[in-house]
Amino acid sequence: MSEQNIRLDLFDRIDKPVNKGFVAILALLALAGAAAFVSMISGEDPSRGWIIFHVNFLVFTGISLGAIIFTAAAFLSKAGWHGPLRRFAEGFVFFLPVSYLFYWIIVLFGKDYIFPWIGSHDPLVEAKRGYLNMPFLTFRGGFGLLVLYVTSWAFVRTSLRPDLRKIKDRLTGFRKSMAERISAGWRGDEAEATALHRTRSRLAPSLVLIYVVVVTILSIDLVMSLAPTWFSTLFGAYFFMGAFLSGLAATAIATVLLTRRYGLDDVVTKSQYHDLGKLMFGFSVFWAYLFWSQFLVVWYGNLPLETQFIVVRKFPIWQNLSIAVFLCLFLIPFWGLITRFAKMTPATHMLFAVVISFGFFIERFDLVVPSLNPTPDAFPFGIGELLVTLGYLSIFLLCYIAFMRTFPIVPIVGLKRKAEHASGNA
Amino acid sequence: MAVTAAPKRLADVFRDINRDILATLDAPGPGYYLLLAFVVSLVGLGAFAFTYQTYWGLGVAGYAPPVMWGVYITNFVFWVGIAHSGTLISAILYLFRAKWRTSVNRSAEAMTVFAVMTAGLFPMIHLGRVWKFYYLFPYYPNRLTVWPNFKSPLIWDVFAVSTYLTVSSLFLFVGLIPDVASARDRCKDWRKPFYTVLSLGWQGTDEQWRHYNRAYLFMAALATPLVLSVHSVVSWDFAVSIVPGWHTTIFAPYFVAGAIFSGLGMVITILVPLRKLFNLEKYITVDHFEDMAKLVLVTSTIVLYAYLVEYFTAWYSGEAVEKASTWWRLFGDYWWATWTMLICNGIIPLLLWFKKMRRNLMVLFIISIFVNIGMWFERFVIIVTSLAHEYMPSMWRYYTPSWVEWSILIGSFGWWAMYFLMFIKMLPVVSIAEYKELMAREAEEAHA
């Protein structure tokens, strides 16, 4: 923890204004999405509006959390290579307040369209009434997410603090006030570095544990309970590991795009792409493993209560979607990312990250929609759904851009001095 | 100045490493032979019990319907689990570039191979008519079209465990090549031909090193999915049935985490005394133990998570049988086994949240013993309590293992320890080549 590498030169490079046209388009799309959502829920079939809102809530919350958990996991395992990528992943933290708001919108206003057990009198549902009731669900989700989001922000804050301390004099306006606030009470470089490391060492494992617990509960409440008599012990783990994978993929996309825009090739080197690619590859295989572990046991046991979930997703209208999920989250990235070349070339790296992210969206769609609407007349994805999804994406990106405008997009303090690991086993 | 000093110092370091580690191969003292005699006598006890059982039939074990899988299958799963740390440390941690693995991977790998050898015995012991063991291999029954049932997870098990034995032995032997060559060059006694064969003509040329590193990387990459798959397949022996308490989707990852947990527990149990006896404090440091302790904590948390999710889902499912089975497991006749498991695996390892505890070897040693006990009981609880309390109340029954089963369990520990004791005197317990590489790399980093 001796003298740290301070790269003020990086700050000059990344201090570029944002493309106003792009932001305007995103804002328009967000408005269009909001309008589409309002017209859907006030139209003749409000449930479709609520369902797509719910799906997107799960997708973008999952991505944001997955990316932040990646930084915590990398910190815990002392993965020095992730330093330059850290901020790209941390940026998703700005979506969390929005996600929290959307959670309340769902449980307060959308509950009758989302939770089929509310009016159900099935004896199996009655048996779990002690858990599946609206007050308890609202409370545990609202409280759990709050704790999770606050911890996430606290963890990201510890990462920002030393950087903002160094650059705050060069900032103006809102950025300056944020920097002042976050770096307030500085105790001197040496003492601060030790103290920050201590805080991070405590926050990181807590954050991972809270993530696991809260997202497991969320997976049961917001997804498993949509098929109220279905249950699977692995589902929680499957759900949060999927979100972790999507966080990696989103980080990869952000890394490629931002590195290119700001000319950071000397900071984010090939070996970073290689390592991130390996992680995406590995967790995509791991996703397939969890999928298979769950599928095999249910298929082999062949108990109606358990197979109902899979049977619906094999209905003709859903079958191709289910296959596409498997292709996008496993088979395509598996064969695509298997070579070192594909992992290290930004274009292919990003291509497969996009495939994984898209796969993650259709996976969450496939987990939610067939439970609520098992036999629709036509595939329930029309222009309204598209607009809501794009609106969500725009809000998500706007939050990310806001973060990247407020804070430096690469760590200024504490990057390793050289391209540190000569890929140990090349 | 610094440039010339570095290689010299490194050469000294290398010489010390050779000397210290190869010193473990020197002629053992009387204590070693005493210990060896003790473990061999345990094997004798197990062999006696097994002979007795073979003569009188499987009735001398505590088996009675509905509990037809008992301590033997528990032992099988337990030992396969123990076998997981070796490949975790040598393959997965290698891919993750966790440097600390270097000092412990050799002993973990050796332990793995011996644990698989122990585990492999139990399906045969469990057969009763052990002379029919070859029916386990699909070739023979298929030729006779007796039982070509590839849908049975028991057959998957045969494939998984034999593949695992093959790959983990290969891994051990490939890793040994450069070290055995060092031992060969230094050895003057009867072991020299043995080392000569194992070192496969190793001369340490650049070409050989290049191929060697390549081979090691590929084996690590191939062994990693294998580690996950082996215990997953073992878990499916249970999970694909519809026995309440067995049929649950989380079993595969939960078994894998449990296996790694128990394997690391065993590695700590053997390394704490080993390091002391062989004066390897310089090579297997407290830092390494702390890293292992962290992994123990992680896997313990996963296992605890799985327990809680299982209990919750049993209630959440709303199914009477599932609920009753779980309730009985926790508060029924076998409550003592279940709570032993919960406390040893879920509660005691929580101590490792404290850095002081992770760095105190005595505490770590004691915790690791509890981990071993807890993981044996976990398998016992899963297998026995589920079978003893299935769907039909008229078929509920309390199973107690007989002296034959206990003796064979004790014998299996002797059998495994016997191999391990022989190993520590025949082969270097710390990887010399990898340790040197680590030293060299650290020196390089310090200069850069």
State the angle between helix axes of A316-326 and A304-313 in degrees (0 to 180), rounded to the nearest 10.
90
Question: For residue A421, what pLDDT is reported?
Answer: 45
Q: How confident is the model at residue A44 (pLDDT cuts 50, 70, 90)?
A: confident
Q: Is A413 helix (H, G, I), strand (E, B) or coil?
A: strand
Interface residue B316 vs chain A (CB under 8 A): yes
Q: Would the pLDDT of B149 be above 80?
A: no
Q: Which of A149-163, A409-423, B356-370 has the lowest mean pLDDT?
A: A409-423
- Per CB-CB distance under 8 Å, the chain B contacts of A425 are 94-95, 97, 213, 217
In this predicted model, what pLDDT tens digit does every residue of A312-358 receive, in sequence order? Answer: 999 999 999 999 999 999 999 999 999 999 999 999 999 999 999 99
- Structure-model confidence comparison of residues A423 and B196, the more confident one: B196
Least confident of A169-183, A305-319, B330-344, B364-378: A169-183
ipTM of the complex: 0.92
Among partner residues A229, A290, A425, which is closest to B217 by beta-carbon distance?
A: A425
User: Quick one: pLDDT at residue B101?
Assistant: 82
Nearest to B250 among A209, A237, A285 (CB): A237
Asked if B252 lies within 8 A of A233 by C-beta distance, the reply is no
Is the CB of A125 inside 8 Å of chain B's CB atoms? yes
Give residue-wise pLDDT tens across range A186-227: 888 788 888 899 999 999 999 999 999 999 999 999 999 999
Which pLDDT belongs to residue A3? 59
Top CATH class of B25-447 equals mainly alpha
User: Does residue A422 register a pLDDT over 60?
Assistant: no
Answer with the residue of higher pLDDT: A292 or B276: A292
A123 contacts in chain B (CB < 8 Å): 318
Any idea where the domains of chain A sit in the sequence? 8-406
Show me where the domains of chain B are located. Answer: 25-447
User: What average pLDDT does range B181-207 have in this prediction?
Assistant: 85
CA atoms of B364 and B289, how far apart (whole Å): 8
- Which pLDDT belongs to residue A83? 85
The 10s digit of each residue's pLDDT in B111-138 is 999 999 999 999 889 988 888 887 777 6
Report the C-alpha gap between B424 and A232 in whole angstroms: 45
Contact B433, B179 (CB under 8 A): yes
What is the per-residue pLDDT for A419?
45
Convert the pLDDT of each residue in B155-186 to its tens digit.
Answer: 888 888 889 999 889 888 888 888 888 888 88
pLDDT above 90 coverage of chain A, percent = 69
Q: Do A297 and B236 touch (CB under 8 A)?
A: yes
> Could you tell me which chain B residue has the CA closest to the CA of A299?
B240
B434: its two tokens: 């990898």
Q: What is the pLDDT of residues B366-422, one digit of tens each?
A: 999 999 999 999 999 999 999 999 888 888 888 999 999 999 999 999 999 999 999
What is each CA distance from B101 to A21, B98, B366, in whole angstroms?
Answer: 52, 6, 22
For residue A125, give the amino acid letter: V
pLDDT of residue B384: 93
CB-side neighbour CA atoms (13 Å) of A105: 17
CA torsion sign, A213 to A215 to A218 to A224? negative
Q: Does the pLDDT at position B301 exceed 60? A: yes
Give the number of residues written for chain B.
448
* Exposure letters A341-363 (e unless 16+ CB within 10 A, then b): ebbbbbebbbbbbbbbbbbbbbb
CB A243, CB A57: distance < 8 Å:
no
- Mean pLDDT over A303-311 rounds to 92
Task: Count Cβ neighbours within 10 Å for each residue of A152-166 and write b for 16 or more, e otherwise.
Answer: bbebbbbbbbbbbbb
Does the pLDDT value for residue B2 go beyond 70?
no
Q: Kindly identify which residue of chain B lies nearest to residue A132, measuring between CA atoms.
A: B316
Q: What is the widest separation between alpha-carbon atoms in chain B?
A: 85
Which of A269, A273, A283 is CA-nearest to residue A348?
A273
